[in-house]
Structure 1
Amino acid sequence: MQFLTPIWLFGAAAIIIPVLIHLWNIRSGKVLKVGSVSLIDAASRKSSRSFKLLDIPLFILRCLLLIVLALLLAMPVLQKKMQAAKVKGWVLIPKETFTETYQKFKPTVDSLTKAGYEFHYFNSGFAKSDLKKVLLKPKDSLKTISPATFPNYWNLARELDTKTASTLPVYLFTPNQMQYFTGEKPQVALNLKWQTYTPADSVSTWIQDAWFTANGEIRVVQGTSKPLGTAYAYSNFKNDDKANSAYTINTTDGKAQISLTGNKQEPVTVSTDAQNILIYADNNSLDANYLEAALQAVIQFSQRPISIKTVANPAQIQANTEWLFWLSDKPVNKALAKNILVYEKGKATSVNSWMSNAGEFTPSLADDEKVGLFKAITATDIKAEPVWQDGFGKPVLALEQQNQTNIYHFYSRFNPAWNNLVWSSNFPAWMLKLMVKPEVDNSVYDKRVLSAKQYMPVIGSEQHTVAAEKSIENKSLSRYFWLTLIIIFAAERWLAHRKPKTEIA
């Protein structure tokens, strides 16, 4: 027998309380009647007291009551070593997509479980379950759940690596949509066979953003996501356009809200905010001219209320600026704007590469998505999130959040001597994607899928086994101690009341 919280065993020292109570029951001496007291010396008077325990059974019960209570608080358990079960392997399916996943891989899953593979849910803790009993549940309880926050399969793969031995075959069946894979790809030592599928509901449409233009029209950005990619369409319509039945306009608390007719998406508030952009040119006036031209193209295309101004003196920078392009490697006051793009300081190195803003999951890029990169500042000790990357995966533009300010570290320049970005037709699109933060988080609607090469963890050569303590089972003995405690308490109360209290006090 072991105790999970042995510190409570010190509580057994409380038995000193009934000992003191029983010893304190001092019995007075008896008065003897005699015929004459003349022969008794007055000076020889002495007191007589008895310190003997009066009720031994009651005393023992009270001591036992405290001892058993201390043992109960110490959480007694019976440890039993379990023999390792001879399991051929594991089959794992996420609980939130169980029905659809099982139907996609039913023959394979059934054959594996019949061969002796254990079924586990691919969720934190990897609870073991009987697949036959799971399938006997009502169909309503097995319906696919649309999670508000998608589980991270890569984090679960890391956890799985600590729960199973490297030699144990593991068959994993999951969807292959991008929203289930975030962060850095894990390195594990698993005997892993991971099979994925594209869910049936693989197309989604939603309103990404909406704002009022200068002429009072509403400009809407509508997103459509499919397994091969996500696209956005821009359109304008007037608020009183009754012929346009694709959108529904409502007013809540004085703000216009727009939604897709027949779509379950929450209405999107039509923005009325205006942005101000400042460019600090310093000694890079040519860079500022290229950048301003690209930003003017962004304004013309997006039709957002945006103002642009180029300044030569930092004192001209207004407070609460939305965007500040600090085209200098001099130190910048980070409190000047909500978003700051700054030229990174360092030694310029000639490179023969390209840069892209497509993201880490793009398996291959078209030539028009690549921008030639000729010079770059060597990035060291980067703790920021890459936004633009070169052909080697190194950041060219990286985002760092400091308090309420977003700092974009640019390791190149807006200059044709450094790269071809200023000559690229994609330059305005890159700036639009960088600057315009959508009203809606589109990760919920993202239906893009990953290939096996993209989602499969890196399998390391280091082998490991399951920790030894996992083969020990702890059986709680608390209920037995509770029963003992109740019996002792009942016996103590009976003994305490069988005589007048004056005799046992």
Structure 2
Amino acid sequence: MLALSLSTFHVLHPTAGLLALLGVLVPLLVYLWNRRPARVVQVGSLRWLETAANRRLRRLKPEQLLLFLLRATLVGVLALAVAGLSWQEPAPPVRGQVLLSPDLLASSALAAVRPGIDSLRQQGYELRQLRRGFPQVPARTWARLASPTPSLTDSLRALLPADNLWMRAQQAADSFPNRPLRVFSTAALRRFEGPRPALPATLRWQLVPTPDSAHWLQAAALVGTDSLRLLVGRSTEEASTFRSLTVRRPANGASVRVTGLPGISYQTTANGAQLRTLDSTIVPVRTTPVRAWLLTDAAYALEARYWRAAVQAVSVGLVAPLQLTAATLAPAGPLPDVVIWLKDAPLPAAWQQAAVPGTQVWRVGRGGGRAVGGTFIPTNTQNTVAIRRLDSLTVAAAETVWQDAAGRPLLVRQALGAGTLYHLRTRLHPSWSALGESPALPGLLLPLLQPPVAPTRLLAHDQRTLDPHQLLTTTAPAAASVSVANDAPPATDLRPWVVLAAVLLFGLERLLSWRAAGRPLTTATASV
């Protein structure tokens, strides 16, 4: 269907309207050729003949011009009715959106892109945070970010447990369809989980450079009576690595010298020894080894080998020595730090009361499971791990730690007394998944097997970056696209009003024609 637009007036059928407009020729022809005969009036002398001839010449001038214009207007209005005239309200202006990741708002790297963001704001872009609800950044807060204070930075750091930026970008594209979107975020790999979604061409993503590397004190443990073993982390764009070093145990309040980590002091408190870093981070000093028990039976013999290799690989990153015990019976007395339950039998009910803070119990999928044919992309690598089977167990009040590419929970976490229960819904057996053979497994387990504060510290210093090639814009499927016209206000059909105007014009034309018919023209003739 053809469509012709003039400002906010729209004509749906312009061809039919133009053909109907040719009807204006009808009243024009009638006006020019349908002349009424003059009335004959006898005069007594030829001397009036010249005057009468002059009057006939004057009658050749256009007469009843108002009636002609009225009829032409009537035909034009009817042509508009045939053409389908409508009124379209002006669409609201489409404002672009600038989306900033929370970790960028709390970072000094924001200054590098602030001029570009200010330029976009002057063009009418709205400034929002790339998190749940996409709240706007008030102008006052944005002005304060030009010279942030420690209190403002600390309040923004409260937003650092950010969501998956892949997921939030997809939600932003759905929440602001057909609008230009500019996303600014750090390149931290920990903010991008799972596969990259299909993003529209209206979204442009700019990564902001972060520090090249970071050094931090991850953990500390007492070795013997006069030595400290320190686990120092170093993270770059490519990987995060750890190195352990042993130093002499200092006196209470004395400093610990570590290259690249100034300002570490040793303190002894009622709760035990601890190390305080320059940024006031407290690192407790562990005084006991990490005790891990692998409880299995013959049905899980193959899988037990995968778990033993993974836990032993993790021990390299643990500051305290690891004591790994493989057994078939649960340990007597208090639970160890880590229990890996590789049995079809349910967990002992007494563990609900026996689990203390820091205790972890791991169990895997049971039964035959169900085939899923999914994939899992670990956060510490971009290599895809095949997930072949998942169990059908539903865990209430569980927190998802890992999920596969389809969004299905893969590893969930819930409370077990005062400790933590991890439920891996698949297994390390090759018929269930390829996790057991994946080199990424020790890196995935390390932050979970560390003391409770360690994962947060590890994530805070993780400098691994996303491959920029993954941000190349791809067009979303055509079926998911929505045209801008669908967002415009509905058009108002003016044809009923045009027809009403035509009826009124027709009535006025009949009235003027009737009045004109009551005053016939007169013509004088001369007789000899």
Instruction: Return closer, same or farther for 1:188/1:381 CA change in 2, 3 Å cut-off.
Output: farther
| Partner SS state of residue 466, structure 2 | coil
Q: In the TM superposition, what whole-angstrom CA distance separates every residue of 1:176-218 from its partner, at most 9, and x where no partner exists?
A: 334555799778878322222213x343221111111246421
Report the Cα distance in structure 2 between the residues aligned to 1:258 and 1:190, rounded to whole angstroms.
50
**Equivalent position of 1:223 in the other structure:** 233
Which amino acid is 2:275 matched to?
I
**Equivalent position of 1:463 in the other structure:** 482
Structure 2 residue corresponding to 1:321, chosen from 336, 356, 364: 336
**Equivalent position of 1:257 in the other structure:** 274
**Equivalent position of 2:423 in the other structure:** 408
Is 1:120 aligned with 2:120?
no
Structure 2 residue corresponding to 1:304, chosen from 320, 331, 343: 320
Structure 2 residue corresponding to 1:245, chosen from 240, 245, 257: 257
User: Unaligned stretches of 5+ in structure 1?
Assistant: 1-81, 470-505
Is 1:333 aligned with 2:348?
yes
Instruction: Return closer, same or farther for 1:198/1:411 CA change in 2, 3 Å cut-off.
Output: same
Is 1:346 aligned with 2:367?
yes
Instruction: Return closer, same or farther for 1:393/1:251 CA change in 2, 3 Å cut-off.
Output: same
**Equivalent position of 1:279 in the other structure:** 294
| Partner SS state of residue 270, structure 1 | strand
Q: TM-score, normalised by structure 2?
A: 0.52
Instruction: Return closer, same or farther for 1:106/1:433 CA change in 2, 3 Å cut-off.
Output: closer
**Equivalent position of 2:80 in the other structure:** none
**Equivalent position of 2:83 in the other structure:** none
Q: In the TM superposition, what whole-angstrom CA distance separates every residue of 1:473-501 from its partner, at most 9, and x where no partner exists?
A: xxxxxxxxxxxxxxxxxxxxxxxxxxxxx
| Partner SS state of residue 173, structure 1 | strand
Q: Contact 1:208 / 1:222 at 8 angstroms: preserved in 2?
A: yes
Report the Cα distance in structure 1 between the residues aligned to 2:438 and 2:475, rounded to whole angstroms.
36
Which amino acid is 1:86 matched to?
P
**Equivalent position of 2:463 in the other structure:** 447
Which amino acid is 2:219 matched to?
D
Instruction: Return closer, same or farther for 1:122/1:280 CA change in 2, 3 Å cut-off.
Output: closer
Structure 2 residue corresponding to 1:86, chosen from 93, 103, 111: 93
Instruction: Return closer, same or farther for 1:155/1:284 CA change in 2, 3 Å cut-off.
Output: closer
Q: TM-score, normalised by structure 1?
A: 0.54
Which amino acid is 2:366 matched to?
K
**Equivalent position of 1:268 in the other structure:** 283
Q: In the TM superposition, what whole-angstrom CA distance separates every residue of 1:19-54 from its partner, at most 9, and x where no partner exists?
A: xxxxxxxxxxxxxxxxxxxxxxxxxxxxxxxxxxxx
Report the Cα distance in structure 2 between the residues aligned to 1:444 and 1:240, rounded to whole angstroms.
28
- State the identity %: 19
Q: Contact 2:214 / 2:235 at 8 angstroms: preserved in 1?
A: yes
Aligned runs of 1:102-251 on 2, under 5 Å?
Answer: 103-104=112-113, 106=115, 110=119, 112=120, 116-122=123-129, 124-127=134-137, 139-140=146-147, 145=153, 147-149=156-158, 150=160, 151-152=162-163, 153=165, 157=169, 160=172, 164=176, 166-178=177-189, 180=191, 191-199=202-210, 201-214=211-224, 216-240=226-250, 245-246=257-258, 248-251=264-267
**Alpha-carbon offset, residue 257 of structure 1:** 2.2
**Alpha-carbon offset, residue 280 of structure 1:** 2.5
**Equivalent position of 2:412 in the other structure:** 399
- Choose between structure 1 and 2 for higher RCO, CA contacts under 8 A separated by at least 6 residues: 2
Which amino acid is 1:207 matched to?
L
Report the Cα distance in structure 2 between the residues aligned to 1:297 and 1:185, rounded to whole angstroms.
30
**Equivalent position of 1:38 in the other structure:** none
Report the Cα distance in structure 1 between the residues aligned to 2:421 and 2:126, rounded to whole angstroms.
46
Report the Cα distance in structure 2 between the residues aligned to 1:424 and 1:92, rounded to whole angstroms.
35
Is 1:436 aligned with 2:455?
no
Report the Cα distance in structure 1 between the residues aligned to 2:312 and 2:108, rounded to whole angstroms.
51
Is 1:359 aligned with 2:366?
no
Instruction: Return closer, same or farther for 1:343/1:259 CA change in 2, 3 Å cut-off.
Output: same
Q: Contact 1:119 / 1:128 at 8 angstroms: preserved in 2?
A: no
Report the Cα distance in structure 1 between the residues aligned to 2:305 and 2:149, rounded to whole angstroms.
60
**Alpha-carbon offset, residue 419 of structure 1:** 8.3
Which one has the largest radius of gyration? 2
Which amino acid is 1:435 matched to?
L
Q: Contact 1:359 / 1:387 at 8 angstroms: preserved in 2?
A: no
Report the Cα distance in structure 1 between the residues aligned to 2:242 and 2:226, rounded to whole angstroms.
22
Instruction: Return closer, same or farther for 1:382/1:102 CA change in 2, 3 Å cut-off.
Output: farther
Instruction: Return closer, same or farther for 1:409/1:101 CA change in 2, 3 Å cut-off.
Output: closer
Instruction: Return closer, same or farther for 1:296/1:113 CA change in 2, 3 Å cut-off.
Output: closer
Q: In the TM superposition, what whole-angstrom CA distance separates every residue of 1:440-467 from its partner, at most 9, and x where no partner exists?
A: 3222222232245657899561538899
Instruction: Return closer, same or farther for 1:430/1:119 CA change in 2, 3 Å cut-off.
Output: closer
**Equivalent position of 1:62 in the other structure:** none
| Partner SS state of residue 265, structure 2 | strand
